[in-house]
Structure 1
Amino acid sequence: MTNEPRRRRSADRANKGSTAIPQLPLQALRNPYKPMEILSADQVEAIHSAAVHILEKFGIEVMSPRALALFEKAGAKVNHATQTVHVDRAMVDEALKTAPSSFTLTPRNPERVVRLGGDALNFTLVAGPPNVHDLERGRRPGNLRDYCDLIRLAQHFNCITMLGNQVCAPVELPANSRHLDTYHANLTLTDKSFHVSAIGRGRALDGIEMMAIARGMSLEEMRESPALTTIISVNSPRRFDDAMADGLMTMSEHGQAVCITPFTLMGAMSPVTLAGALAQQNAEALFGVVLSQLVRPGAPVIYGAFTSNVDMRSGAPAFGTPENTKANIASGQLARRYRLPYRTTNGSASNAADAQGAYETLMSLWGAVLGHCNLIYHAAGWQEGGLTASFEKFIIDVEMIQHMIETLRPIEVNDAELALDALGRVPTGGHFFGEAHTLERYSTAFYQPMLSNWQNFESWQEAGSLDATQRATRLWKKALEDFVEPALDPARREALDAYVAKRREAIGAGEP
């Protein structure tokens, strides 16, 4: 953070006579521990071989003529009648040689740089729900006001590294141009990187051009210094529709990152077995990697995983299950086999910001962290299986994320930490409350939660008997009160406004 926003926040709080919500400082997050390996080396290779078999023998449907032409030119077997592409092992291997193992995304504030790959760890705001919910106003369709408030929260909390693609859909705006409004909000109310919509070339290119304006760069400069990414959702099983394929190619052509994410729900869009689902996920992800490298060798690409299961009684998606947790760990092994950055999700199927929502989210979050995920998508605010963005769930998730960050902080072992002098000074049966070693560290020794309540029962009852979800309501409202809009050069703001006006007019006239 710069000193100026800190001064402004301090002044605002002084004027309001309030104290800040405790949160961890802005930092480059990393996972310093060894990743968990739930699969043996032989099992990883068996899944890889099965994925190659799928690509060579079964093929992938590609509904974009431009993508079909690229594959055919590169030597893939293309059946134009069925729009099916068969990719062989050699083409996969060649693509993996040029796909970068790590890269950075630099938004308009370079202090918010996003590192992807290696042991880097990043968390995003929930993305894509059509609905919004909070305890005071209930469940309602997504709208621009709530959209802006949710991204203000993402800007306020340091542990949210970047924004996803539309935290909620502002349904009151025209569907073909609302992305302009959400990009504009992203670039003015936050200074963090974000995911653009890659539903076709136009939406992707608008995001790239608007970020270039906000950074004061040309498109060529952006090509060499990426700032954005997108989620390319594979229409599993084994289909890339034309909009997703065109969005992928546009992003790669301009040097921006793409995250290839198959939607492999076991029992519905993939086999009911975890091994079969992972093989399918692997094949679809590798296919997207190949396409990105055919467009531009060296284009940044992320291995995406979204493997979970359905409720076999109803067919409804389930998240935070043991199967989902294991898939998050195993997918990390596959991503590391290919030396690719890795993305997954800490989802929940709960319809409320309740205990189920917390334990399912934490289960999948542990799977992501143990699997050494670099980008945990939908990390804060996901509710109702991704159909609702929740204000209270956002706060609960931020608390869990901060717990995880502190858990990943290595234990220090040195003379000061071993505290032998203090141990020698405190008599048998004594206590350490008044010991100098304690007094020197009491304010920073332990993680300070923002949501947990550690009062005794009587004090908690006198304070209103609020549970964690009710306390979360107070916190998101307080965070919005404390929000400070990040500064943006007035000339760049004016250029953004002009771009949006011009493109809105063009889209209204029928241009893509």
Structure 2
Amino acid sequence: MTALRARRSAERVHSKAGARIPQLPSRRVENPYPPMALLSSDQVEAIHQASLHILENLGIEMMNSRALALFESAGADVDHTTMTVRLDRGLIAEALKTAPSSYTLTSRNPARRLTFGGNIINFTLVAGPPNVHDFERGRRAGNLRDYRELVSLAQHFNCIHMLGNQVCAPIELPANTRHLDTYFANLTLADKPFHVSAIGRGRALDGITMMAIARGLSLDEIASDPGVGTIISVNSPRRFDEMMAEGLMTMAEFGQSVCITPFTLMGAMSPVTLAGALAQQNAEALFGIALAQLVRPGCPVVYGAFTSNVDMRSGAPAFGTPENTKANIASGQLARRYNLPYRTTPGSASNAADAQGAYETLMALWGAVLGHGNLVYHAAGWQEGGLTASYEKFIIDVEMIQHMMEFLRPIVVDDGELALDALAGVPTGGHFFGEPHTLERYATAFYQPLLSNWQNYEAWTEAGALDATQRATSLWKKALAEYVQPPMDADRREALEAYAAKRKDEIGAGEP
């Protein structure tokens, strides 16, 4: 009987091989539960006061003369020799008054419009790794083919709401113009919002302009209905470099979304204690938010957090740790103190799409959800501490995100769900398999995983004994085969191509 059951189970798996990958429908994800509070209100206030002390007395280095002038004109204490800015608490308070508590981003497909703030959660594709990996082609430097494939995977899976800033760098293309090729790929292979590079004014403005072209808008029009965002990475401790500051100000000038994210690794770029790291993170985030509001009051901003720790034996970054998870939750409390949308990240330091990668990511993902993150950045595909975008890890992460989405569905309690008639119809010691209540609901009663395997051991062995990572390889290949490129108006596509070609000529001629 065991062998017969195994064969039948294997036959069922084989018969489903031609079916499309099961996934959750596209929907807005809301967190219906109260946020977790690791810090007391007194502790939140103590961190707030400590960060004001940092801003008022220690200051932040701002390596951009235009930003220094803005701060000085607003009444900040600016030392031009050291490029240090000291902000009083009144200036911070005034900036926070104009920062919106929520806002929307609209891509070229209005149905993909995203809300940032409140209880809404948005998950993004991994961004920034120089390398890519899959189990068939191995680890390699990023290239345009990989870039296009990973964007296509993000478009295919409904639980990925947004693209990050360059899922990998296509190194075969010129470094000063490759952002135009990646923006074009984002806009033609997907119809979801995306993050642009903010390394300088040119890259930021190119991204804004290309999204405006794809939507048929002018720059004035997109300023009032933003379509792209960026991540401003602070060079912690307490330094904003010239190019990032320029990108921040450009995004703010044109009314686009700006997420200020300090890179506070405890023991390296911040104090080794969580309270000290949070105080530094808070000061750096508030400084960047204030700059955005000085450029354009009302500019949409996100309170970004990226506090984790290092391995004190080697100095290597660690993610998905208990400290990282607590920081994800506590940072949400700080963002809510200022009534700002909140960005967080579920990272992992694992070098492979393995058990370590899964449990570290899930640990940090719980912190992101319990902390009520609105922008869960690097949610799918992050590997090797952010140095590699992994195809298999992308699939594993999609499975975990979908699990989390289903967990966030509220429990329904009504007459149909209480099932008293079904309970009355089944005798003691019986079963509910054939009960009408079950038959009416069995197809949709439970979450259907895309990666998990629930066969018994014999059937699993007969089907090839593939572990989750091996099954993930088959799934990303199948997803690419299923992928359908979203339609785009031919005139707008031609306009995008023309703009990219013009900008490449300008940049080649030495223009910014």
Same fold (TM over 0.5): yes
2:349 is the alignment partner of 1:349: yes
The 3-state SS of whatever aligns with 2:30 is: coil
Instruction: Give CA deviations for 1:140-180 in whole Å, capped at 9, x if unaligned.
Output: 00000000000000000000000000000101111100000
- Aligned amino acid, residue 25 of structure 1: P
Matched residue, 1:496 = 496
Instruction: Give CA deviations for 1:379-417 in whole Å, capped at 9, x if unaligned.
Output: 000000000000000000000000000000000000000
Matched residue, 1:76 = 76
Provide the rounded CA distance (Å) in 2 between the counterparts of 1:158 and 1:290.
Answer: 34
Query: Post-superposition shift, 1:18?
Result: 2.5
- Aligned amino acid, residue 287 of structure 1: F
Provide the rounded CA distance (Å) in 1 between the counterparts of 2:119 and 2:34.
Answer: 9
Matched residue, 2:158 = 158
Matched residue, 1:5 = none
Question: What does residue range 429-444 of structure 1 map to in structure 2 within 5 Å?
Answer: 429-444=429-444
- Aligned amino acid, residue 427 of structure 1: P
Matched residue, 2:10 = none
- Aligned amino acid, residue 409 of structure 1: R
Question: What does residue range 379-390 of structure 1 map to in structure 2 within 5 Å?
Answer: 379-390=379-390
Instruction: Give CA deviations for 1:450-483 in whole Å, capped at 9, x if unaligned.
Output: 0000000010000000000000000000000000
Instruction: Give CA deviations for 1:424-457 in whole Å, capped at 9, x if unaligned.
Output: 0000100000000000000000000000000000
Question: What does residue range 145-184 of structure 1 map to in structure 2 within 5 Å?
Answer: 145-184=145-184
2:344 is the alignment partner of 1:376: no
- Aligned amino acid, residue 437 of structure 2: H
Query: Post-superposition shift, 1:17?
Result: 8.9
- Aligned amino acid, residue 418 of structure 2: L
Matched residue, 1:204 = 204
- Aligned amino acid, residue 26 of structure 1: S
Q: Identity of counterpart residues, as a percentage?
A: 78
The 3-state SS of whatever aligns with 1:129 is: coil
Provide the rounded CA distance (Å) in 2 between the counterparts of 1:133 and 1:114.
Answer: 30
Matched residue, 1:288 = 288
Provide the rounded CA distance (Å) in 1 between the counterparts of 2:31 and 2:205.
Answer: 33
Matched residue, 1:308 = 308
The 3-state SS of whatever aligns with 2:19 is: coil
2:422 is the alignment partner of 1:422: yes
Matched residue, 1:8 = none
Instruction: Give CA deviations for 1:329-379 in whole Å, capped at 9, x if unaligned.
Output: 000000000000000100000000000000000000000000000000000
The 3-state SS of whatever aligns with 1:484 is: coil
Provide the rounded CA distance (Å) in 2 between the counterparts of 1:265 and 1:92.
Answer: 24
Give unpaired runs (5+ residues) of structure 1.
1-15
Matched residue, 1:22 = 22
Provide the rounded CA distance (Å) in 2 between the counterparts of 1:154 and 1:439.
Answer: 35
The aligned length equals 497
Give unpaired runs (5+ residues) of structure 2.
1-15
Matched residue, 1:114 = 114
Matched residue, 2:215 = 215
Provide the rounded CA distance (Å) in 2 between the counterparts of 1:40 and 1:493.
Answer: 52
TM-score if structure 2 supplies the norm length?
0.97
Provide the rounded CA distance (Å) in 2 between the counterparts of 1:187 and 1:51.
Answer: 39
Matched residue, 2:393 = 393
Question: What does residue range 53-64 of structure 1 map to in structure 2 within 5 Å?
Answer: 53-64=53-64
Matched residue, 1:40 = 40
Matched residue, 2:335 = 335
Query: Post-superposition shift, 1:132?
Result: 0.3
Provide the rounded CA distance (Å) in 2 between the counterparts of 1:229 and 1:137.
Answer: 32
- Aligned amino acid, residue 362 of structure 2: L
Question: What does residue range 247-262 of structure 1 map to in structure 2 within 5 Å?
Answer: 247-262=247-262
- Aligned amino acid, residue 349 of structure 1: A
- Aligned amino acid, residue 329 of structure 2: I
- Aligned amino acid, residue 339 of structure 2: R
Matched residue, 1:509 = 509
Provide the rounded CA distance (Å) in 1 between the counterparts of 2:457 and 2:508.
Answer: 60
Provide the rounded CA distance (Å) in 1 between the counterparts of 2:450 and 2:430.
Answer: 31
- Aligned amino acid, residue 465 of structure 1: A
Provide the rounded CA distance (Å) in 1 between the counterparts of 2:52 and 2:175.
Answer: 38
Provide the rounded CA distance (Å) in 2 between the counterparts of 1:348 and 1:71.
Answer: 37
Provide the rounded CA distance (Å) in 2 between the counterparts of 1:307 and 1:344.
Answer: 9
Query: Post-superposition shift, 1:307?
Result: 0.1
Provide the rounded CA distance (Å) in 1 between the counterparts of 2:469 and 2:115.
Answer: 32
Matched residue, 1:139 = 139
- Give the direction of change, closer, same or farther, for the CA distance of 1:337–1:17 in structure 2 (3 Å limit): closer
Query: Post-superposition shift, 1:275?
Result: 0.1
Provide the rounded CA distance (Å) in 1 between the counterparts of 2:333 and 2:228.
Answer: 25
Provide the rounded CA distance (Å) in 1 between the counterparts of 2:176 and 2:100.
Answer: 33
Question: What does residue range 118-133 of structure 1 map to in structure 2 within 5 Å?
Answer: 118-133=118-133
Provide the rounded CA distance (Å) in 1 between the counterparts of 2:226 and 2:344.
Answer: 21
2:408 is the alignment partner of 1:404: no
Matched residue, 2:359 = 359
Provide the rounded CA distance (Å) in 2 between the counterparts of 1:329 and 1:28.
Answer: 22
The 3-state SS of whatever aligns with 1:440 is: helix
Provide the rounded CA distance (Å) in 1 between the counterparts of 2:511 and 2:307.
Answer: 36
The 3-state SS of whatever aligns with 1:121 is: strand
- Aligned amino acid, residue 72 of structure 1: E
Matched residue, 1:472 = 472
Provide the rounded CA distance (Å) in 2 between the counterparts of 1:510 and 1:449.
Answer: 52
Query: Post-superposition shift, 1:19?
Result: 1.2
Provide the rounded CA distance (Å) in 2 between the counterparts of 1:386 and 1:294.
Answer: 32
Provide the rounded CA distance (Å) in 1 between the counterparts of 2:135 and 2:81.
Answer: 52
Provide the rounded CA distance (Å) in 2 between the counterparts of 1:177 and 1:21.
Answer: 36
Segments of 4+ moved more than 4 angstroms: none
